[in-house]
Amino acid sequence: MGSQKTQAITLRLTDYRETSQILSVYSRDFGRISLLAKGSKRKRAHSQGTIDLFQLLELVFIEKSAAHLHLLTESRVLEEFPGLRRELTRGYAAFFVAELLLGLTEESDPNPALFDLAVTVLGMLGETKHPNVVLHAFEVRVLELIGLVPRLDGCAWCGAAIEAGAAKGQVAFAASTGGVVCPKCEGAVAERTYVSAGALAMLRKLSVSPLNRVERLRLSGTIAQDVRRMLARTWMHVLGREPRMFEYLR
């Protein structure tokens, strides 16, 4: 195992002794990895700036076995995403992105598409006027990449088509079954909730709209609440717990 080079996003920093840190990053070529950054708590001569959360870095490290931390030897900041630090709302959204990357990925299991998505979304969150829309679009695309996006075009229980106007525009949704549930099956699902047909349509738009155009979508009122509830229940089912950042994103 020798020296490796990659781009990575810093997700978590943990102090290690007096001057060092352990970096948890999501990299393009190696997936989620942990590195020992000796002396990173002070500015090092070979680094261009100090390492901080939610930076896009170019890293050079000595690869170690799975039982040991990789050793960081060089780092260079490629992008700092300063907009994430201007408002709490944007910072909370970035922490949620990091929480999902930490909670959904395995060590040393690369997914370049997920990395590219995260980099793009962090940049958008720092600049957009509608961070909630961008964040929801990120969530839907992550679920697609890991193969767990909720089914919206038919009953997740029996496969039957869902009538958009059923129950006065209300449709049953159950994360435990993987999506919407038809009237015949909903009685068998205890953890269901009811959402508007408009919210289902919005979730589809968040999925299929080009990422650079999702900011044109408007989320408000009942539709916004329903979209948030569907995604929240999906993450609770996928992660087995409520994401910690939900308290701040509500």
Residue 74 lies in a domain: yes
Beta carbons within 8 Å of 37's beta carbon, 6+ residues apart? 20, 21, 22, 23, 51, 72, 75
Task: Please list, in sequence order, all residues whose beta carbon lies within 8 angstroms of the beta carbon of residue 173, skipping any fewer than 6 positions away.
Answer: 150, 179, 180, 181, 192, 193, 194, 195, 230, 233
Nearest to 23 by CA among 80, 49, 61, 65: 61
Q: What angle do CA 234, 148, 164 make, to 5 degrees?
A: 70
- What does the pLDDT read at residue 164? 54
Of 50, 82, 114, the residue that ends a domain is 82
Residue 95 is assigned to a structural domain of this protein = no
Q: Are residues 40 and 142 in the same domain?
A: no
CB 114 within 8 A of CB 72: no
Q: What is the pLDDT of residue 211?
A: 94
- DSSP string for residues in 38-49: TTTTS--TTSBS
Domain that holds residue 220: 128-149+192-249
Q: What is the mean pLDDT of each run of 10 residues along the chain (250 residues)?
A: 92 91 97 91 55 96 86 95 95 98 95 98 96 97 96 93 66 95 91 93 95 92 95 96 92
Nearest to 145 by CA among 13, 26, 58, 24: 26
**Count of domains observed in the chain:** 2
134 and 196 belong to one structural domain: yes
Are 215 and 133 a contacting pair, CB within 8 Å? yes
Q: Are residues 139 and 27 in the same domain?
A: no
Give a yes or no: residue 239 inside a domain.
yes
Sheet architecture: strand order including 170-174:
179-181, 170-174, 193-196
Closest C-alpha among 124, 154, 155 to residue 137:
124
Residue 123: inside a domain, yes or no? Answer: no
The answer to whether 166 and 250 have CB atoms below 8 angstroms apart is no
Please check whether residues 136 and 72 belong to one and the same domain.
Answer: no
Distance CA 40, CA 44 (A): 7
Question: Is 116 part of any domain?
Answer: no
Question: 25 and 135: one domain?
Answer: no
From the centroid of its chain, how far is CA 43?
30
Nearest alpha-carbon partner for 207 in 147, 161, 139 = 139
Q: Is residue 232 included in any domain, yes or no?
A: yes
Side chain identity at residue 220, one-letter code: S
Within this chain, do residues 53 and 135 fall inside the same structural domain, yes or no?
no
Give me the pLDDT at residue 166, please.
54
158 within a domain of the structure (yes/no): no
Helix 88-104 / helix 131-145 crossing angle, nearest 10 deg: 10
**Cα 240–242–243 angle (5° rounding)?**
110
Supply the CATH number for residue 63's domain.
2.40.50.140
Structure confidence at residue 19 (pLDDT):
84
Q: What is the pLDDT of residue 18?
A: 83
Q: Which of 82, 103, 119 is the last residue of a domain?
A: 82
Strand 31-37 to strand 70-79: parallel, antiparallel, or no bridges (unpaired)?
Answer: parallel
